[in-house]
Structure 1
Amino acid sequence: MNRMMNIQELLLDDVGEAQAAKPELGTILVVEDDPRMQKVLKRIFMEESFSIAVAGDGKTGLELFRSHRPVAVVLDLILPQISGRELCQTMKSLSPETPVIVLSAITEVVDKVLLLELGADDYVTKPFSPRELMARVQAAIRRRKRPTQSAVYRFGECEIDFEKMTARRSGVAVVLTSHEFKLLRFFTENPERVLSRELLLNEVWGYNSYPTTRTVDNQILKLRQKLESDPANPTHLQTIYGAGYKFVP
């Protein structure tokens, strides 16, 4: 089955004002100049009980961003008055914690890299799957709501400084890759919680990477070799057979 968005189908059953979303989930700001796409996105998010604010140009988008304080922004790149790139940078300077998910037909890697440098939290290419877009937005909102964690985290014989990206075990420096730091941070933010491989792929690698679940196994094996005193019998990065992995401080 083709999971890509069928605009005609989504437009057939428009969402009226009487079906407005429950406001307690917060407002998602959609900045998109195509009225048909506005309608599609409005329905996608209202069906998940979000309130929606819609802007058709960059100037209005910035005004709504300031007045509505959205929980997330879905942003097109090609906009009248203020470009999507400039708008992304401005929004992030005003509110760094607000997730901005770029939605655009532009697929060049250089554009994706540039947007990440400007502060975008994710990048979804048109045409898209409504389910995938919703999952990415919800994941970005969850990351925003996580409690802040001290930059330095200690467990067992290890001391990890996530801000400086340094690691030590028994006082000896250990070299970790940026992705190993990212995976380890997610574990430390979710101690004692069983995390499936699929969840780790979505939260740590992101949908754009599309690695296999074997990627998770290989990365955790490397972390054990660097951080566990006995990698064959790990104390902290434990395997929960049939379910995934669990971090025990």
Structure 2
Amino acid sequence: MMQQYQILVVEDEQSLAQTIALNLQLENYKVLLATAGQQALDLFKTNSHVINLVLLDVMLPEINGFDLCKAFKKIGPSVPIIFLTAKNQISDKIEGLKLGADDYITKPFDLEELLLRVSNLIKRTQKETIAVFNFNNCSINFETFEIKDIYGASSTLSKREIGLLKLLTEHENKVISRDEIIEKLWDLNENASSRTIDNYILNFRKYFEANPKEPVHFHSIRGVGYKFIA
């Protein structure tokens, strides 16, 4: 089955927002739609781990597009952003690109061109960022073994820790048994126990949970295994 990518459209002109959303859906994209700055920020905070691209207007109520771009890059630094705006001054384009935007399209624009740019950028960035998983202001880089924790600090984990994180995140919302974890991450001649995995989970909670004693993301299911929820 072809992967269905998700796009956050942030545009305060209702008719234009609906037109963009409809055309994206016809191209088999899932669409989240926001018409004001705070709504967009809330949607991104909740869904950054599944958003593949943002189409972002600059002139918005509550929070402008430039400030949203800054916030988005802190929460999900690998999510690509295309500015979509009536502002066509070179200084505005430079400002947007300096903030980390990947492209800049000025209104009025051709829908076919927009769809092509969206498709090309998603293809390119998916290849570049497939090793990075973002959730709740945190990130995990499965290639470099680096993480950004809940406090914004960076750390380098062991190969086995990263392996366990990858296994959990790839099976999001599903319980993985202790036996399956041991089978996939330990050699036959290595001694591994539930206590060993429990210690890893405790460390993950320290890195990624606001309150490790009341975990939101890393859950132990008594007598069964473990579950990750973004």
The TM-score normalised by the length of structure 2 is 0.53
1:110 paired residue number: 91
Task: Give aligned-pair identity as a percent.
Answer: 37
The alpha carbon displacement at 1:98 in A equals 0.5
Tell me, yes or no, if the aligned pair for 1:23 and 1:50 is still in contact at 8 Å. Answer: no
Indicate whether 1:61 and 2:34 are aligned.
no
| Aligned-residue RMSD, C-alpha | 1.9
Instruction: Give the aligned residue type for 1:93.
Output: K
Q: Secondary structure at the match of 1:77?
A: coil
Once the two structures are superposed, the pairs formed by residues 104-143 of structure 1 within 5 Å of their partners are 104-143=85-124
The alpha carbon displacement at 1:53 in A equals 0.6
Tell me, yes or no, if the aligned pair for 1:27 and 1:68 is still in contact at 8 Å. Answer: no
Instruction: Give the aligned residue type for 1:35.
Output: Q
Q: Which consecutive unaligned segments of at least 5 residues does structure 2 have?
A: 130-230
Question: How far apart, in 1, do the equivalents of 2:32 and 2:72 lie?
Answer: 15
Tell me, yes or no, if the aligned pair for 1:26 and 1:51 is still in contact at 8 Å. Answer: yes
1:26 paired residue number: 5
The alpha carbon displacement at 1:26 in A equals 2.2
Q: How many residues align?
A: 128
Indicate whether 1:45 and 2:12 are aligned.
no
Tell me, yes or no, if the aligned pair for 1:23 and 1:49 is still in contact at 8 Å. Answer: no
Question: How far apart, in 2, do the equivalents of 1:127 and 1:120 lie?
Answer: 19
CA offsets 1:118-173 (integer angstroms, 9 cap, x no match): 0111000101011111111111111211147xxxxxxxxxxxxxxxxxxxxxxxxx
Structure 1 residues 99, 147: closer, same or farther in 2, change over 3 A? closer
Regions of 4+ moved over 6 Å: none
Structure 1 residues 80, 23: closer, same or farther in 2, change over 3 A? farther
The alpha carbon displacement at 1:96 in A equals 1.5
CA offsets 1:195-229 (integer angstroms, 9 cap, x no match): xxxxxxxxxxxxxxxxxxxxxxxxxxxxxxxxxxx
The TM-score normalised by the length of structure 1 is 0.49
Tell me, yes or no, if the aligned pair for 1:23 and 1:51 is still in contact at 8 Å. Answer: no
